[in-house]
Amino acid sequence: MAKLNSSFRGHAQPVLSLSFDKENGKIASGSGDGVLHLFDIKTSQSAFKFAFDGTDEENEVAALAFIPGSQNLLVASGQDACLLDPRSDSKPVLIAKAADQINSIVIPTAQPSPNTAVFADDTGDISTIDFRKPGGKLLKTWTAHTNICMHAAFGATPSDLYSGGFDYHIHRWDISNGARLDSINVSTLSSNKDQANPNSEIESINPPFVYNLAMHPSASSNKMAAALGNGSVVIVQRDAGPKANKKKKTRPCVVDAVVPVHSWSCTVVEFWRSDSLEAGAGDVVISGGLDGCIGVLGVPGLTEPNEQSQNQTTYPLKGKYPVGRKVDGLICLGEGVNLDDGRATVRVAVAGCATTKVRDAGAVDVWDVPV
């Protein structure tokens, strides 16, 4: 079983977004109450609080991200993308306004001092912004999806972007020109044939909306995970296989596995690599779902072939643990405390609607999850 370690309290409504500043030991959380908190992970206390103006529908903080190498944040409050300095008394600086609610903000980590970011919104649009210029600048907007665009994630370079939406597609983009390089229709995918699917009924009811994307942290890996509304986690090999033709500089994405994990929508995924375990041995995908559980999938070593036998799936479900919340946000903080049976754990911050009255509706819970 997963073990509850601590909780961060301060929001009046469920938390919708999380970001982690590992260097300074801070977690940023945004809520439907229009409030942003910075929590100190050592004390579990709020070190900073800011309330955005407007009604709950207008100002909910659905997306935020720490800027690498800085304590500043990019924050989405409703349709507004803002730059916030928590060390200053000044208000957030409005950089751009989306056509509808912003669902995610991502910053490339492949460069030491990034100056651009991307946000995705309910219209299906993706926009790029320059947040280093005074007052910020909107650089480009294009229609990426025919329905809500829920999430985006950068690949190996600052121009390599992936997006997922409620039109059942994962797209790959060159954001320097807005060109689409590749596409996967997840509604055509089925679960691994070698793995029993307990979610067959769930999958027939819940559409496979693409809620979230995550990239493997290793530069030598091209794995990407996607969270689907039918409860599955999809593993994709980015830039894999032979080139489609000689004119193309990239190879097509290949679906490596479709693993049923949750009995309701899977809303968030994140790769975790343990520094203390043998290389590859601690690689897992952590997923969160509206079923109130966290799932843990094993990931094969980077040198292992991506093959399946009749008796074993490539990405085994190592565990599934109830956490008392319909998970909307999830962040891996580091290695947790080993369990009594000696198993290693990862410390995970979890946010979402409480499934029981015992839980504080607006809290962020920190769990030690067996890996």
pLDDT the model gives residue 170: 98
Beta bridge partners of 155: none
Is residue 274 in some structural domain? yes
Q: Which domain holds residue 127?
A: 14-328
Q: Choose the weakest-confidence range: 37-46, 240-249, 261-270.
A: 240-249
Which two tokens mark 123? 């219209």
| Within a domain: 354 | no
What is the average per-residue pLDDT within 18-42?
Answer: 95
Summarised one tens digit per residue, pLDDT across range 242-264 is 555 556 566 788 899 999 999 99
**Is residue 317 a part of any domain in this protein?**
yes
Give the C-alpha distances (Å, rounded to integers) separating 213 from 37, 40, 51, 114, 368.
24, 26, 28, 20, 23
Q: Is residue 282 assigned to a domain?
A: yes
Question: Does 61 reside within a domain?
Answer: yes
Q: In 9-56, where do the E strands start and end?
A: 15-21, 26-31, 35-40, 46-51
| Nearest CA-CA partner of 104 in 223, 268, 216, 219 | 268
Evaluate if residue 305 carries a pLDDT over 70.
no
Lowest mean per-residue pLDDT among 19-28, 115-124, 183-192, 251-260: 183-192
Q: Please give the tally of structural domains in the chain.
A: 1
- Kindly list the distances between the CA atom of residue 178 and the CA atoms of 68, 97, 154, 166, in Å, as whole numbers in the listed order: 24, 19, 14, 20
- Residue 312 scores a pLDDT above 50: no
Whether pLDDT at 268 is above 80: yes
Supply the pLDDT for residue 221: 81
Identify the bridge partners of residue 170 per DSSP, sorted by sequence position.
Answer: 164, 184
Q: Which residues contact 59 (CB under 8 A, 6 or more apart)?
A: 34, 52, 53, 77, 78
CA dist., res. 327 & res. 350, Å (int): 7
Whether residue 342 is contained in a domain is answered as: no
Q: Which of 216-220, 302-306, 327-331 is least confident?
A: 302-306
Distance, in Å, from the CA atom of 336 to the CA atom of 347, rounded to the nearest integer, reads: 5
> Can you give the pTM of this predicted structure?
0.90
| Whether residue 321 has pLDDT greater than 90 | yes
Q: Is 201 helix (H, G, I), strand (E, B) or coil?
A: helix
Report which residue type is found at 232: S
pLDDT digits (tens, 9 = 90+) for 68-79: 988 899 999 999
What whole-number distance in Å separates Cα of residue 113 and Cα of residue 58?
A: 31
Written as six digits, the tokens of 210 are 């693409």
The pLDDT of 307-327, averaged and rounded, is: 77
Average model confidence (pLDDT) across the chain: 87
- Residue-wise pLDDT for 88-110, tens only, equals 888 999 999 999 999 999 999 87
Q: Which CATH number characterizes residue 262's domain?
A: 2.130.10.10
* Residue 304, pLDDT score: 43
Three-state secondary-structure class, residue 245? coil
Alpha helices in the chain (DSSP H): 56-59, 200-205
Q: Residue 97's closest CA among 69, 70, 125, 116?
A: 125
187-243 confidence digits (pLDDT tens): 999 765 445 455 555 555 789 999 999 999 887 788 999 999 999 999 998 876 555
Q: What is the DSSP letter of 157?
A: S
Asked, for residue 8, whether it belongs to a domain, the answer is: no
Across the range 33-47, mean pLDDT stands at 94
C-alpha to C-alpha distances, 267 to 11, 70, 229, 295, 351, nearest whole angstrom? 21, 28, 7, 11, 11
pLDDT at 162: 97
Higher pLDDT, 92 or 278: 92
Residue 211 lies in a domain: yes
